[in-house]
Amino acid sequence: MAPQNGNVLTITTPEGTTSGPVEAGISYDHMVRAFVDHLVLGAPFPTQGQDSINNMAAIDAWSSVFRGHLGIALTDTYTTDLFLKSFDSVEARVFDGVRQDSGDPYVFVDKLVAHYQKLRINPLTKTIVFSDDLDTKIAISIKEYCRGKINASFGIGTNLSNDLGVQPLNIVIKLSQCRSQADTVWIPMVKLSDTEGKHTGDADEIELCLRIVQRSSL
């Protein structure tokens, strides 16, 4: 990415407004990563039945379309523990890594390293993309924890774009309902977070999914 010379950047904070030209020669060299999101992983559940709650219906479809590209898998649509039960040797090798978006990031690192090692995959060939409520200090701490264990990448959204002293909005956008055909009924969607108390969706559907997850964990 390279800002155009002559563009003006304006920043407004409670203390006032500051404007200045974009300096020539500024450029940014970063790898852009794309990943499976909660919408993709959640949608098959109401349209394909309870078996797809293990995420693999969407993961397999993603693999068949992108053939190894855009290879970061999201683990926590129905909890990471359930995801890992189905994230087998084939999928773990196809995907470049996984995304951590809820729960304890340090516990997540240990859990993924152990999972890759169990599958005889060197964790240092894989990457975790961290994206849950990050700031620079947290990212540096996680990076140090991952050193020598697994590669780490970071998606710092809110703090990176709203670090000017203004209280940011806490907005989470999820798929609320889904249907398989235009003439079928709408079925509520659910997201089960790795963070306790952050499940989203219809209360009855959340309870149903929790029971399925509990049964699958036995």
Q: Which residue has the tokens 């290879």?
A: 71
Tokens of 214: 């509990």
Q: Which residue has the tokens 């049964």?
A: 215
| Domain boundaries defined on the chain | 32-218
**Cα 76 from Cα 155, distance rounded (Å):** 16
CB 151 within 8 A of CB 124: yes
Residue 50 is predicted with a pLDDT of 53
Report which DSSP code applies to 26.
-
Q: In the chain, pLDDT over 90 holds for what percent of residues?
A: 24
Domain boundaries 32-218, corresponding CATH code: 3.20.140.10
Q: Which residues of the chain have a pLDDT value below 50?
A: 1-5, 24-28, 34, 38-45, 47, 52
Residue 160 is predicted with a pLDDT of 72
Residue 109 is predicted with a pLDDT of 97
What 3-state class would DSSP assign to 74? strand
Tokens of 176: 């609320």
Q: Which residue has the tokens 């002293």?
A: 165
Residue 59 is predicted with a pLDDT of 74
Residue 14 is predicted with a pLDDT of 66
Tokens of 175: 């798929």
